[in-house]
Chain A
Amino acid sequence: MPYSKNSLKIDAEKIANQLCEVILRQVGGTLKKTGAVIGISGGIDSSVCAALCVKALGPKKVLGVMMPEKESSGDSEKLARELGKKFGFETIKEDITKGLSGLGCYSERNEAIKQVFPEFDDSWKCKIIIPTNILEKKTYNVFSLCIENAAGEMKTKRMPLSAYLQIVAASNFKQRLRMTTLYYHAEKKNWAVIGTGNKDEHEQGFFVKYGDGGADLKPIGHLFKIQVFQLAEYLGVPKDIINRTPTTDTYSSEVTQEEFFFGLDFYRMDMLWHALEENIPAEETARVLDLSVEQVETGYANIKRKILATEYLRLEPLMADK
């Protein structure tokens, strides 16, 4: 099929049915589990996974766990509850703030932020961003720290290595504690943990190893984000969730996935990546996406670099005899 603006359009009904068969086979057959536990954040990926599991296993075999902490957006809980109501599965809330405090998540992170911005205290919010548009310059995907006070004053700086590593390590407690919480509930019921990452997140390394990357099955891990949107429409995921800007729900200052990691809107990111995988010449991709050839080549190079640089995240523990 020639490369076109519709190249990533899917037959959502067919794909949803196929995925339901896979979920049923993997949960019951391969894993020998009797239900599914999903962390629900009010985001589109977890909502699609929950809807698929309900369709595959029935609502009584699905548990949605909301795991907010003191820096989470208030909308997340409201939307997650709406999702549970719509699809008829049980939802529970586990506030992980105390656990995170005990682990030193906030204190260790804030100590590292102060290395970069000594004025940082609890009155400021923070986020990490990639400040560049990946089509415009062949820059590395280097993270910057951004802090913001109540008056809206914002400061951004590239981080020295030690601060960057400490901030990321401390922040990753959030995803890892969520994973631990999910496994507690799953093991208590002899159910499986569903990973909610999509292809963009999985292959470009936008997940925490043994955090949100830790799960028993990942039903949408092979689908581009724009295909997940199509599934959401078909499955009847509430519009408030579909229209919500995807965020990381990791930092106190709101940060979109685009500014945190991908550096590009999902449509162009996915279409570029698909073209790269299909060996579409840059000239052809440029014509279809209304970009310059140079922008396409820059985008291709950036995606390749991200995949290469995050290979470690996707590796299983290495065995000595392999």
Chain B
Amino acid sequence: MPTLDQKTTRSEIKNFIIDSFMFGQQDQTFSDSDSFMEKGIVDSTGILELTSFIEDKYEFAIEDDEMTPENLDSIDNLVKFIAKKMV
């Protein structure tokens, strides 16, 4: 399992979001606490894409009951969730 560095994790997720859902256009601003769904960045299919990325990249499985906005709906939430899963 890869070692955890929260700063790197944050940047990896942000890059993935920008590349996958914003055609690489970094000028569209969103903060680390913004809700992906409310900001219209990610829809329900996007959530599946995001979970596949997280599972492959950080080598753990996301259980069905972990598929919540609390864990996945912003960069802040994802960083916390990943840190918890990798303890």
Contact with B along A290-322 (1 / 0, CB 8 A): 000000000001000110111110000000000
Give the complex CA separation of A62 and B70 in angstroms: 50
A138 nearest CB across to chain B (Å): 5
Q: Which residues of B contact A312 (CB under 8 A)?
A: 43
> Is A195 interfacial (CB-CB < 8 Å)?
no
State how many angstroms separate the Cβ of A300 from the closest Cβ of chain B.
13
Q: Is the CB of A140 within 8 A of B72?
A: yes
Beta-carbon contact of B44 and A139 below 8 Å? no
Q: B68 near A161 (CB under 8 angstroms)?
A: no
Does A165 reach chain B (CB closer than 8 Å)?
A: yes
A309 in contact with B44 (CB, 8 Å): yes
Q: Given A161-B45, A308-B40: A144 and B64 within 8 A (CB)?
A: yes
Interface: A209 (CB within 8 A): no
CA distance A160 to B64 in the complex (A): 12
Known: A144-B64, A308-B37, A309-B44. A138 touches B70 (CB 8 A): yes
Question: How far is the CB of A83 from the nearest CB of chain B, in Å?
Answer: 34
Interface membership of chain A positions 146-178, coded 1 if the CB is closer than 8 angstroms to chain B and 0 otherwise: 000000000000111100110000000000000
Chain A residues within an 8 Å CB radius of B44: 140-142, 305-306, 309-310
Known: A160-B52, A309-B43, A309-B44. A139 touches B37 (CB 8 A): no
Contact B47 A142 (CB under 8 A): yes
Q: How many residues does chain A have at the interface if contact means C-beta atoms less than 8 Å apart?
A: 23
Q: How many residues of B contact A (CB 8 A)?
A: 17
Q: Cβ of B47: which chain A residues have Cβ within 8 Å of it?
A: 140, 142
Asked if A137 contacts B37 (CB within 8 A), the reply is no
Query: Could you tell me the dominant secondary structure of chain B's interface residues?
Result: helix
| CA–CA, A305 and B47, complex, Å | 12
Contacts of A164 in B (CB 8 A): 45, 48
Digitize B1-41: 1 where CB-to-A-CB distance is under 8 Å, 0 elsewhere: 00000000000000000000000000000000000011010
Tell me the complex Cα distance, A138–B47, Å.
Answer: 14
In the complex, the answer to whether A139 meets B67 with C-beta atoms within 8 Å is: yes
B40 and A139: CB pair below 8 A? no
User: CA separation between A142 and B52, bound complex, in Å?
Assistant: 13
Closest to B44 in A: A309
- Asked if residues B52 and A131 are in contact (CB atoms below 8 Å), the reply is no
- A310 vs B65: C-alpha distance in the bound complex, in angstroms? 22
A160-B52, A309-B37 known; A165 vs B45 contact (CB < 8 Å): yes
Q: Is B49 part of the contact surface with A, judged by Cβ < 8 Å? A: yes
CB distance from A50 to the nearest CB of B (A): 32
Contact B38 A161 (CB under 8 A): no
Q: List 16 A-B contacts (CB under 8 A).
A: A132-B64, A137-B65, A138-B69, A138-B70, A139-B65, A140-B44, A142-B47, A158-B67, A161-B48, A161-B49, A161-B52, A301-B69, A305-B44, A308-B37, A308-B38, A309-B44
Which residues of A pack against B, CB within 8 Å?
131-132, 137-142, 144, 158-161, 164-165, 301, 305-306, 308-312
